[in-house]
Each structure stands twice: as structure tokens, then as C-alpha cells.
Amino acid sequence: MSAAMKILSGTAHPELADRICSYLGVNRSDATVNPFPNGETFVKLNENVRGNDVYIVQPTCPPTNHNIMELLIMVDAARRASADRITAVIPFFGYARQDRKDQPRVPITAKLVANLLSAAGVQRVLTIDLHAGQIQGFFDIPVDHLYAAPVIIRYLKQKGLHGDNVVVVSPDVGGIKMTHSFSKSLGSDFAIVAKARRSATEVEALNVIGEVEGRDVLLVDDMTETAGTLTAAANLLKERGAKRIFAGVSHAILNELALRRLEESSIEELICTNSTPMAYGPRVTTLCVAEILGEAIRRIHNGESVSSLFDIR
């Protein structure tokens, strides 16, 4: 393509944007993103983007509403500056758990966010491990949905956690598909923990379906915030005779409660990615997804296929 590539970043995760730029061999484009005294966001693009292919890196992690609004304002600025194409690079897509009406008189906020992005001027979305893959259908624009699994699986194999010496476990019934993909790639058995949710932060693990006694365990989930599901499952697995317990998640939005729970739990190591800036702490190993995001951006910019990047190997 003849259009130049411009990589912009909001304030949510500039470190990841810089790592993507390093992979691509380009400099991050200069933009001013500051709050006014009243809390409103001011954005100014300090470089010409007319006719350019613009990529705005901004995970919509906490503070979620602020980061979404900042992304929308940056998109509007790029559109009004006559950018040729605007791609929102959203490593972590906030509000993804609000993807259906599961009780009366509640919104489908994931769909609302999709509408807002399109209305602002986004022409393509690049993201990693949506909480529900069907959210891609909420958009009327192309969505490239990548997976963090290849990055995590490569680390697990280097660590020796594969084959018959480990059981891959889903901490709830909803994660069976993801767990099966991991177990297939690692050549391992898999099991399931049945759970009941007491509240937004409290989870009770009820039973284990599968054999874990005397074996190492890898808990797999798409995200953790309070670590309630993971730690409850880990404690039950320990009671059932599991040896070492590890956890692998794509998105770690770790708060103080999560870090305390991990510290007090049976989980030896939480393996996650840097899709959010909160993916750090004791017992946490953070893997970089800049390479897969950068490669996807390069292929999109050059009009190449990105389908091979969707594979979970």
C-alpha cells in the first residue's frame, strides 16, 4: 500500500504501543492526550495523518470508561484529520462480559461499545481473546480476533509443562473450548471444575470432573480480575490431590484483591500477557503480545492475509 503507517497510543498502555512499534521498526506518532481540569479529555495529533493508515493502540481496561472515551476522541481526531483508514487496536476489549441480556431490563453493553467505535470512525478492529467470540458479530466492520494461546503455549513447553505430566483444567464449564484447545496443543488430558458464583467477587468451586490426583495442573481462562474463580478452583484441585498448580490467562486485570488471593492460594505461577498494564505482581509471569499484534498490523497494512495468526498451535 502507498499510504504511510502511523501508530498512535492513548494513555492506557503506551509501553505496549512502543513494543509494537519496535517490532515494526517505526516510531510511535506524536500525540498530545491530556485531561482538562474538569476531567474532559483533550487530544491533538502532532503529526500529519492525511491519507495515512492509522492504528490506535488502546486496551479498554480500567479505568474502562475513561479509556473507551479517550479512544473514541482519538479516533474522531484522526478522522477529522483525513486519515485514510483507522484501525482500533484493542488488546483487551472491556465490557465483553456484558454480551447478552441475562436478566430483565439490562443492556448489552458490548454491542453499545461496538456501535460507538463504528460511529466514531473506526474502520477495523484488532483484538485478542474476546470473552465471547460472538462479539465479532456485534460489529459491521472487519474484526481481526487474535489468540494469546500460541505465546502462552510456547512458554509452557519451554517450562516442560506438556504431555502426560500435566492436566489442563477449565475453572468453569464456559471455558471448555479454550481448555480443549490448550490440552490438544500440549498433548495433555483435560478436566473441568464446576463452580457457583455467589457475587461479582466471590466464587465457590463445587466439584472436579476428571482425574488430577498426583499430577501437575494448568488452569486456563481468558481473563482474571479478582482471581476468585482461579483461586477457588486451585484450592479444590489441591484437595483432590493435584501436585503443582499453574494458571494461564490471556488478560490479567489484577487488583489488590486478586494479588492477595494469588499470594494466599495454591497457584504457584500465574502466566499471562501484557494486554493490560495491570498484568504484573508476585507469582505473575507476563509474556509479551507485541509481536503478534505487530505482525497483524504489518499484514493488514500490506493487504496480506492474517488468518494464520488466528491458529492456536
- Write down the pLDDT at residue 165: 84
Alpha helices in the chain (DSSP H): 14-24, 64-80, 109-120, 149-159, 176-186, 228-239, 256-264, 290-301
pLDDT at 312: 60
Q: Is 159 known to be catalytic?
A: no
CATH 3.40.50.2020 domain position(s) in the chain: 5-146+290-310, 149-287
Judge contact between 184 and 225, C-beta under 8 A: no
Determine which one of 101, 157, 177, 195 is catalytic.
Answer: 195
Q: Is 138 within 8 Å of 160 (Cβ atoms)? A: no
- Assigned C-alpha cell, 268: 504457584
CB-based contact 31:305 (threshold 8 Å)? no
pLDDT at 84: 97
Q: How many CA atoms lie within 13 A of 119 on its CB side?
A: 7
SS (H, E, C) 271-297: EEECCCCCCCCCCEEEECCHHHHHHHH
| Amino acid letter, residue 64 | T
The cell for 188 is 495433555
Q: What is the DSSP letter of 306?
A: -
Angstrom CA distances, 81 to 25, 56, 126, stand at 24, 14, 22
DSSP state of 96: T
Local structure of 85: helix, strand or coil = strand
Reading the chain (313 residues) residue by residue, the pLDDT tens digits are 468 999 999 999 999 999 999 999 999 999 999 999 999 999 999 999 999 999 999 999 999 999 999 999 999 999 999 999 999 999 999 999 999 998 999 999 999 999 999 999 999 999 999 998 889 999 999 999 999 999 999 999 999 999 998 999 998 877 888 999 999 999 999 999 876 566 555 555 578 888 899 999 999 999 999 999 899 899 989 999 999 999 999 999 999 999 999 999 999 999 999 999 999 999 999 999 999 999 999 999 999 988 777 666 5
Count of CA atoms in the C-beta half-sphere (13 A) of 214: 1
Q: How far apart are CA 89 and CA 191, in angstroms?
A: 34
Taking phi over 0 as left and psi of -120 to 50 as alpha, with beta for the rest, 17 belongs to alpha
Q: Strands 53-57 and 143-146: what pairing? A: unpaired
H or E element at residue 143: strand 143-146
Tell me which architecture the domain covering 149-287 has in CATH.
Answer: 3-Layer(aba) Sandwich (3.40)
The Cα-based distances of 65 to 69, 270, 295, 298 in angstroms read 6, 27, 28, 29
Handedness of CA 258, 136, 150, 277 (dihedral sign): negative
pLDDT at site 1: 46
Is the domain spanning 5-146+290-310 CATH 3.40.50.2020? The answer is yes
pTM above 0.85, yes or no: yes
Strand partners, 45: 31
User: Where do the H-state alpha helices sit in 173-221?
Assistant: 176-186
For residue 303, count other CB atoms closer than 10 A to its CB. 7
Give the per-residue pLDDT at 200: 56
C-alpha cell read off for 293:
499484534
